[in-house]
Structure 1
């Protein structure tokens, strides 16, 4: 970088990052029962629970790819 030139900021601002942390702090406790439930089920029921989750992985990967900044 040339002398005297301001650095280019890349990425989210501090406020955006704080919002992400707050959102995660509110959402994760609500989703924890969905994660703990299969651990209490019988093995066959646990596999049946995992099947739709595995099926839903691909659309989430595509959406994540589309939403990525680069």
Structure 2
């Protein structure tokens, strides 16, 4: 990762806010795929959007701990 710690923390917090906004999978997918312009189609590999995004947050946390 070449991003600054501040950028990573900002994105991490935005992801957590997105997870907190979860009401149902259909609306979550709609938001990610069409409003957030996420080009990764997570349903092929993950049971839910929040599960996938928690994985991303864990990756950020691991990276931040190494700094």
Global fold match (TM > 0.5): no
**Structure with bigger gyration radius:** 1
Give the number of the structure with larger relative contact order, counting CA–CA contacts within 8 Å between residues 6 or more apart.
2
State the TM-score, normalized to the length of structure 1: 0.35
